[in-house]
Amino acid sequence: MDSTLNYLTFLFYIVPAFLIWAFLSSVKTSKLLQTLIWLFWLAGILLHSYQLSPIYNDGLSVNLSLNYALILVAFMFSITLYISSIIGNTQFLGIIILPIVSLVFLFDFQNNPVNVALDNYIFIHIILSLISYSILGLSAAQSIILKLQERKLQTNQPMGLITRLPSLDFMDNLLFKLLILGVIFLSASLISGLVFLEDLFAQHLAHKTILSIFAWLIFVLLILGRKVYGWRGSNAANITLIGFFFLFLSYFGTKLVLEIIL
C-alpha cells in the first residue's frame, strides 16, 4: 500500500477522534467542531474505501489476507459508527473506535494473498461476518466507555467528558441493543459458514469455528443473564469484552498464526 495514502488516512481518522473528545469535553456545544468531525471522518472513510480496491481480484474472488482483512473490518467499523452517529446518539464511541481504525494504516503485514472465491454462499457468509464483527466491536467500545463512566460516577468525579455522555441507563440499554443485534448477525454468520464447509480441518477453520461458537455462547449467556438476573453495568461490560476477545481471536488470531507465524 502507498505510505503517503496510509498516513493521510491515519490523519483523517485520528483528528476526528480528538475533535470528538474536545467536543464532549467543552462546556458549550460547538457547531464548528461538530462540522469538522463529520468532514474529517468522511474524508477518512473515502480514502479508506479507495484502499479497499486491491482486495478485489480478476474474476469473482477477493484477497482476504491478514492485511486486507484488517482494512476491510476497520472500514465496516468506521462506516457503521458514522451512520449510527448520524441517526442516533453514538458519536462518543468514536473516541475508542477511530484511534483503533487509524492504527490499521500504520502497519503493513507483508503476507501472501489469500484469495476467496465469491460464490453465493461464501459472499453471504463474509457479509454477515463483517456486519457481526462491526456491531460487536461497537459493543466492546461501548463496554469500555460504560465502565469508565460508572467508575467516575461511583467516585463522585463526573467531570468533563463524563458529564456530556448519556445517562447510565441509556448507555446500559445501548450496550444490550448492540449485543442482541450483533448476536443475530453472528448466528446467521455461523449458520451460513456451515453451509459451505466441506472439510472443517482441511480448510484450517476448526479453531476459527470453535472460538466463534465460544464467543457466541458468551454473548448469549450475557443476554440471558440480563433478562433473568438483571446483569448490567461493569460486570456486563467485562463479559462483553471477554466475548469480543474470543471473537477477535477466532478470525485474526487464526489468520496471524497461519499467514505470519507458520
Secondary structure tally for the chain: helices H, strands E: 10, 2
Residue found under cell 483503533: 100
Boundary-marking domain end, from 106, 137, 157? 106
**What's the grid cell of residue 42?**
468522511
Question: Domain count of the chain?
Answer: 2
- 166/170 Cα distance (integer angstroms): 6
Q: How many CA atoms lie within 13 A of 95 on its CB side?
A: 18
Average pLDDT over residues 156-180: 83
**What's the grid cell of residue 238?**
467485562
Give the per-residue pLDDT at 262.
46
Rounded percentage of the chain residues whose pLDDT exceeds 90: 47
Residues 136 and 260 in one domain: yes
For residue 120, the tally of other CB atoms under 10 A from its CB is: 9
On the 0-12 / 13-18 / 19+ scale of CB atoms within 10 A, 82 is buried
Domain with 96, as residue range(s), is 1-106
- Whether 114 is in a domain gets the answer no
- Whether 45 is in a domain gets the answer yes
Give the per-residue pLDDT at 203.
52
Residue 260's pLDDT band, with cuts at 50, 70 and 90, is very low
Residues 149 and 245 in one domain: yes
Global confidence as pTM = 0.86
Residues 36 and 88 in one domain: yes
Cβ-Cβ contacts under 8 Å for 135 (sequence gap 6 or more): 80, 178, 181, 182, 185
Q: How many residues make up the chain in this entry?
A: 262
Residue found under cell 464467543: 215
Residue 259's pLDDT band, with cuts at 50, 70 and 90, is very low
Residues 74 and 136 in one domain: no
- Whether 181 is in a domain gets the answer yes
Residues 161 and 75 in one domain: no
- Whether 111 is in a domain gets the answer no
**With 50 as the cut, is the pLDDT of residue 214 above it?**
yes
Q: Give which of 129, 133, 252, 262 is closest to 196, Cα–Cα.
A: 129
- Whether 238 is in a domain gets the answer yes
- Whether 164 is in a domain gets the answer yes
- Whether 112 is in a domain gets the answer no
